[in-house]
A = this chain, B = another copy of it.
């Protein structure tokens, strides 16, 4: 079979490959030593990092100002500029995030399973760090620190491949983190910022098999697909969320209003926001016109199928839904709406168009809810509550490095335990196998 191209860019395919591999080897060596670090040591390290970020916020803001100027000059839209921008208070938030992670339990060393075998062997499955974790992300420079905090707390080294628009901010942040590593007696190679001038560094990172244990792409579908197509190291797909709310014929009217409104409008740019509303035909007449009016009044554009449009009538303006609407993660004040004949039709729609992130049902009928929760194959299935709850902090994990929409290793919000693997320890006394 042909070897995969180590990069997506036709020109300069091998530019910098050695640099990435050297960084990965450095990270691997540092990780091997760091795997045995105790919780006390790691928490002290993270708190020292938080202190240093606060103390040196001037450097960070200066670097960020250069990124912002370059971005403005290149015509970056205002909303994206805001994502890129750091302020004194945003730096303080980032530092406070590190302190929160320091306060979380350390997953390393946890005994997952254990038993004494009939022959007297003592068997334990314990959590250990993964080793070297790569994060490929877009936009916000705060991800640089958040990702470093979570991977370090779980005992790993991290290779960060951020966006070129944030390169000066990221360089300042990582330089501060590395200074603290050295001052604390650790290898600076536990946190490395990879070059980001072109796409090729992503290719080198995701094909560094044997050096990198996991790559997590955080960003849009384009970034994630590119990584998955090219990767030979294990990848966890995150974050694409075409989430559905199904309003059953046994739905409570008030709960429906609360849930649909919150799922769609609480924050439209996040992956757990609802993108499609499916309404059972038996309650469409009573529920949909009022709901549509309320949503339209808060600024939601409704993309309605024929039956939904007819039911809504003059209650609110609607746009006819096209086949493409069912597959679109709007991330905006848009909502696709369809009327369905049954829960099974709703589930079939979800199976065809969903991305396996989060789907909600609003219903008071136990049998229908049971059928829906059993049969819908998504990371999270929500009953009578907003899709917005699919989130590491909301789930009580204290933090989150992403929301996995794949089935292997981690599914749903990923926090510290998801950044570890396990090891079997087998203790005997000269035992041999017959």
Residues of A that sit less than 8 Å from B by CB:
1-5, 7-8, 32, 35-36, 115, 117, 121, 123, 125, 128, 130-131, 199, 203, 209, 213-214, 226, 228-230, 232, 234, 236, 252, 254-255, 258-259, 261-262, 266, 351, 373-375, 377-386, 388-390, 394-396, 406-409, 411-412, 421-433
- Kindly report which residue of chain B lies nearest to residue A424, judged by CB atoms: B380
Indicate which residue in B1, B35, B255, B429 contacts A229 across the interface (CB closer than 8 Å): B1
Task: Select from chain B the residue with minimum beta-carbon distance to A222.
Answer: B1
- Collect the chain B residues with CB atoms within 8 Å of residue A378's CB: 423
A52: min CB distance to chain B, Å: 29
- Cβ-closest 5 pairs across A and B: A385-B428, A1-B8, A255-B430, A262-B432, A407-B421
Q: Cβ of A383: which chain B residues have Cβ within 8 Å of it?
A: 425-428
**Are B394 and A258 closer than 8 Å at their CB atoms?**
no
The secondary structure that dominates the A interface is mixed
Is B384 touching A430 in the complex (CB atoms < 8 A)? yes
Give chain B nearest CB distance to A122 CB in angstroms: 9
The CA of A261 and the CA of B255, in the complex, are separated in Å by 68
Considering the chains assembled together, what is the distance between the CA atoms of A203 and B5 in angstroms?
A: 16
Q: How far is the CA of A429 from the CA of B234 in the complex (A)?
A: 38
**In the complex with contacts A377-B423, A384-B431, A424-B395, A121-B1 CB distance below 8 A:** no
How far, in Å, is A301 (CB) from chain B's closest CB?
21
Which residues does chain B contribute within 8 Å of A424, judged by CB atoms? 379-381, 390, 395, 411-412
A411 partner, pick from B230, B381, B390, B421, beta carbons under 8 A: B421
25 contacts between A and B (CB under 8 A): A1-B5, A2-B8, A32-B351, A35-B374, A115-B396, A123-B396, A131-B377, A234-B234, A236-B408, A252-B430, A377-B423, A379-B423, A383-B427, A384-B427, A384-B430, A385-B426, A385-B430, A386-B431, A386-B432, A389-B431, A389-B433, A408-B409, A411-B421, A411-B422, A411-B423
A374 to B425, CA, bound (A): 10
- Tell whether, in the assembled complex, residue A259 and residue B430 are in contact, meaning their CB atoms are under 8 Å apart: yes
Provided the pairs A1-B8, A432-B259 are in contact, do residues A117 and B377 lie with their beta carbons within 8 angstroms? no
**What B residues does A425 contact at CB under 8 A?**
373, 380-381, 383
Measured between beta carbons, the chain B residues less than 8 angstroms from A428 are: 382-386, 389
Min CB–CB distance A16 → chain B (angstroms)? 16
Measured in the bound complex, the distance between the Cα atoms of B385 and A61 in whole Å is 57
CB-defined contacts of A388 to chain B, threshold 8 Å: 432-433
Is there an interface contact between A230 and B1, defined as CB atoms closer than 8 Å?
yes
Please give, as numbers and ranges, the residues of chain B lying within 8 Å of A407 by CB-CB distance.
130-131, 213-214, 234, 421
List chain B residues, Cβ under 8 A from A409. 408-409
Q: Which of chain B's residues has its CB closest to A115's CB?
A: B396
User: What is the CA–CA distance of A213 and B115 in the complex, to the nearest angstrom?
Assistant: 31
Would you give the shortest CB distance from A104 to chain B, in whole angstroms?
15
Complex partner residue of A406 from B234, B266, B429, CB under 8 angstroms: B234
Given contacts A199-B1, A389-B433, A407-B131, contact A423 B380 (CB under 8 A): yes
Report the Cα distance A116→B412, complex, angstroms.
Answer: 18
